[in-house]
């Protein structure tokens, strides 16, 4: 078993860590306070190839392996957590459009998305439908050579700034999962409206409520046959959930590194804080847990790259990674005393940002149910 990164992956880590430190971290607090979408950072990530990692090479992508995707999520998470949404959502769009879009759709939308010039959102969640994604109420009715889409999507990351969205709508009222179809919907079409949401964290990704009032979409914008939309998005969730865990761990890891530097310099009772076991033991525990979770993530992505099942491992990382990151960042905040509690230091923002992905892409409860089913069998639960 080889647990080492390749020379190319080591170089990627160095490059992205430097980029995150120099180009993202200095602006992260400003983006958070203003709610400004970091469009220039999106373009920079596009230039680095990060937004085309899961896009076919013929349309400007990299077709990178899953481990490379995970490395990118972890390293960008060290600089600005919101920017990791660009990697994951462009990746999902690249896969879904690349596999299911017409040639016209792929040529029009994939290259500028990979370059960071165009933003595509993923519109799955609805006000009354979160974890039970097979029960969507948004509907798409056939009307000649087009579809009329009606319904509401809520909590849509990048919803206020995206040029288009992959919208999942019901084409068969009785079909549950088999009745859901995916469409690429330009968000400047008549009948589309957007309302911003005021979130606790990740404010720069401009989450929104999207409303569709009989929006007419040409049938050429349907992605794959009717009834396949649910399965298209679920295929991407396994690897994306591991990426979310690694992004969370990236934010936690840089917090631990900053805290280690601080406690070695900070004096109390005539000696450095690092000399007190109450401080050093907390750091040792955090480092141990982060290392264990990180390697579980990389094993999951290794399994994915080998074409082996990894749904169980993916769900394990998704519930554990964000929760562990929140707990670790919280501990780092406390070790900095009152200044850790202010917005002069990045801990409170990182903690707010990561909490959002204790919910998004699958709650801890749903992830534990997935793990339990894999271990015990569906018929036992």
Which domains are present in the chain? 7-118 (1.10.540.10), 121-227 (2.40.110.10), 230-380 (1.20.140.10)
pLDDT digits (tens, 9 = 90+) for 273-329: 999 999 999 999 999 999 999 999 999 999 999 999 999 999 999 999 999 999 999
pLDDT at position 378: 80
Q: What value does the mean pLDDT of the chain take?
A: 96
Nearest partner of 113 among 55, 152, 48, 65, judged by Cα: 55
**DSSP letter string over 309-332?**
--HHHHHHHHHHHHHHHHHHHHHH
Q: How far apart are CA 307 and CA 313, in angstroms?
A: 14
Nearest partner of 29 among 198, 249, 258, 203, judged by Cα: 203
β-bridge mates for residue 226, sequence order: none
- Given a cut of 80, whether residue 7 has pLDDT beyond it is yes
205 touches 37 (CB < 8 A): yes
pLDDT at position 3: 85
DSSP-derived secondary structure letter, 225? S
pLDDT at position 176: 83
188 touches 204 (CB < 8 A): no
pLDDT digits (tens, 9 = 90+) for 98-149: 999 999 999 999 999 999 999 999 999 999 887 777 789 999 999 999 999 9
pLDDT at position 2: 80
The C-alpha angle with vertex 269 and arms to 265 and 275, in degrees rounded to 5, equals: 50
**DSSP letter string over 107-151?**
HHHHHHHHTTSS-EEEE--BTTBSS-GGG---EEEEETTEEEEEE
- Percent of the chain topping pLDDT 70: 100
CA separation, residue 347 to residues 95, 268, 277 (Å): 34, 22, 22
pLDDT at position 31: 97
**DSSP letter string over 83-110?**
GHHHHHHHHHHHHHHHHHS-HHHHHHHH
pLDDT at position 132: 76
The C-alpha angle with vertex 323 and arms to 320 and 327, in degrees rounded to 5, equals: 130
pLDDT at position 177: 86
Nearest partner of 81 among 25, 43, 5, judged by Cα: 25
- Given a cut of 80, whether residue 19 has pLDDT beyond it is yes
**Which whole number is the average pLDDT over 50-62?**
96
pLDDT digits (tens, 9 = 90+) for 318-374: 999 999 999 999 999 999 999 999 999 999 999 999 999 999 999 999 999 999 999
Predicted structure pTM score: 0.95
Q: What is the CA radius of gyration of the chain?
A: 21
- Percent of the chain topping pLDDT 90: 93
356 touches 201 (CB < 8 A): yes
Q: Which residues in 10-49 are b (16+ Cβ under 10 Å) and which e? A: eebeeebbebbeebbeebbeebbeeeebbeebbebbbebb
pLDDT at position 8: 94
Max Cα–Cα distance, the chain, nearest Å: 80
**Which whole number is the average pLDDT over 222-246?**
94
pLDDT at position 128: 84
281 touches 331 (CB < 8 A): no
């Amino acid at each position: 078993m080889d647990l080492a990164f390749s020379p190319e992956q080591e170089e990627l880590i160095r490059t992205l860590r430097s980029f995150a430190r120099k180009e993202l971290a200095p602006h992260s607090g400003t983006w958070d306070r203003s709610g400004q979408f970091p469009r220039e950072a999106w373009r920079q990530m596009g230039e680095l190839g990060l937004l085309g990692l899961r896009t076919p090479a013929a349309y400007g992508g990299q077709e990178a392996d899953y481990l490379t995707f995970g490395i990118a999520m972890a390293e960008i998470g060290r600089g600005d957590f919101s920017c990791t949404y660009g990697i994951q959502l462009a990746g999902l769009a690249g896969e879904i459009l690349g596999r299911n879009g017409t040639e016209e759709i792929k040529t029009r939308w994939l290259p500028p998305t990979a370059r960071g010039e165009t933003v595509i959102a993923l519109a799955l969640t609805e006000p009354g439908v979160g974890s039970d994604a097979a029960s969507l109420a948004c509907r798409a009715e056939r009307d000649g050579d087009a579809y009329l889409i009606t319904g509401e999507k809520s909590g849509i990351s990048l919803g206020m700034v995206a040029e288009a969205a992959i919208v999942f709508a019901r084409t068969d009222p009785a079909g549950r999962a088999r009745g859901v179809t995916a469409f690429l919907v330009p968000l400047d079409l008549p009948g589309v409206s957007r309302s911003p949401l005021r979130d606790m964290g990740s404010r720069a990704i401009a989450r929104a409520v999207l409303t569709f009032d009989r929006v007419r979409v040409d049938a050429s914008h349907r992605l794959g046959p009717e009834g396949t939309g649910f399965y298209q998005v679920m295929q991407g969730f396994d690897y994306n959930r591991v990426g979310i865990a690694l992004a969370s761990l990236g934010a936690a890891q840089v917090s631990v590194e900053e805290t280690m530097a601080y406690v070695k310099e900070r004096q109390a009772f005539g000696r450095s804080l690092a000399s007190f076991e109450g401080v050093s033991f907390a750091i040792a525990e955090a480092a141990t847990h982060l290392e264990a979770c990180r390697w579980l993530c990389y094993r999951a992505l290794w399994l994915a790259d080998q074409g082996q099942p990894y749904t169980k491992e993916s769900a394990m990382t998704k519930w554990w990674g964000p929760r562990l990151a929140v707990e670790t960042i919280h501990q780092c905040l406390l070790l900095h005393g009152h200044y850790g509690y202010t917005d002069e230091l990045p801990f409170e923002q990182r903690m707010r940002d990561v909490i959002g992905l204790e919910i998004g892409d699958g709650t801890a409860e749903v992830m534990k149910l997935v793990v339990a089913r894999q271990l015990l069998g569906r018929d036992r639960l």
